[in-house]
Amino acid sequence: MMESLKEKVVAWIRKDLSSDGQLDWAAYNNSLVMVRMEGTDFRLSGEWVPDGWHVFLQVHEGELRLTVNGERLGFDSPVYVDFLRNRKWANVTLAGKYRTSFIVMEQHFFMETTLPIRNKIAEGMEQFAKHPFTSVNADEDRDLSRLEEMMFSTLSANSHLFCRELIQALACAWQYELWNIFFHRQQDVRSTINPHWNDVISQFFYLAHTYCREQHRVSWYAAQLGVSADALSADLKRLHGKTASAMLEELLAAEAKVCLHNPALSVQDVAEMQHFSDQSAFGKFFKRHCGISPAVFKKRHIEENNS
């Protein structure tokens, strides 16, 4: 049975809370948990949460220090951090008097929640992936705090007839606000890579998020971009540590999981939606990436929702 997200996250954070620290949390099933904290001096220790959970941090007060891939960084508040899975995070520290919120989403829930956004932000993903931190001003922090408060109140009540849909809508609005801030910041930032390849990579992300269900071959994307498949994969590998093929397969697997969560869709339906030759080919692909068959994955999701 899947480990409880809320118990794991709350225990992970609470153990490092100082004597004057205060912690409040709310959660929606095993899909999303918010932890609000305030106090003086905090350092997160122990193992990072598993890859299946997406971690965000919004620091409203205090100084943030952390280590990313061995590099020590520091930020004044307010600041937002998206703990991307392709980085190694350590020594997350809040120095002095702090007030902050952790928001942790189960990865499939996050992908489903942000589905309306991803095509719109594709052009910024490449730049954000290199520096997943966004400093915000007082007005922006106030707007984000309002959305966080609405999410927390909804999670705490957990009695709305459309609780899942409302929480996803609020989380999506929160992400829209963050990306709006990020894109405004980027207007004054010059790219450090060749402008031609900057455009190619941005367009690849857009095409991949738009067409990954229909187009599985790197050669198709390369043809749309007017570059060779080898050159495209080489540049993606250099910038992001993954080839075009690996990125496409990750996106396809993530989209498959979102579709399999839909009770109205059968495994055969999902295989057809994702343009596999047949259900068997889809099953082999899914098991290779996820370790279990799509039928078992779907069954477990139904059992977890009914428990």
Please say if the pLDDT value at position 189 is more than 60. no
Q: In terms of C-beta distances under 8 Å and separation of at least 24 residues, what long-range contacts does 64-68 make, across chains too?
A: 64/92, 64/93, 64/94, 64/95, 65/91, 65/92, 65/93, 65/94, 65/95, 66/90, 66/91, 66/92, 66/93, 67/91
Dihedrals phi, psi of 94, to nearest 5 degrees: -110, 115
**Does the pLDDT at position 274 exceed 70?**
yes
CA distance 147 to 103: 12
* Alpha-carbon separation of residue 12 from 77, 86, 260 (angstroms): 23, 21, 30
Say what percent of the chain tops pLDDT 90: 42
Which contacts qualify for 44-49: CB closer than 8 Å, 24 or more apart? 44/12, 44/13, 44/16, 44/91, 44/92, 44/93, 45/15, 45/16, 46/12, 46/15, 46/16, 48/83, 48/89, 49/8, 49/9, 49/12, 49/104
Residue 199 — very low, low, confident or very high, per pLDDT cuts 50/70/90? Answer: low
Q: Where in the chain is the domain with CATH 1.10.10.60?
A: 195-306
* Residues contacting residue 48 through CB under 8 Å, at least 6 positions apart: 83, 89
Give me the architecture of the 195-306 domain, per CATH.
Answer: Orthogonal Bundle (1.10)
Using an 8 Å Cβ cutoff, are 281 and 271 in contact?
yes
User: Any residues with CB less than 8 A from the CB of 101 and at least 6 apart, and which?
Assistant: 34, 35, 36, 37, 57, 58, 60, 148
Residues of the chain with CATH 2.60.120.10: 5-186
Confidence check: pLDDT of 132 > 80: yes
Is 212 in a helix, a strand, or coil?
coil
pTM: 0.65
CATH top-level class for 5-186? mainly beta
Lowest mean pLDDT segment, chosen from 190-199, 216-225, 268-277:
190-199
* Confidence tier at 112 by pLDDT (50, 70, 90): confident
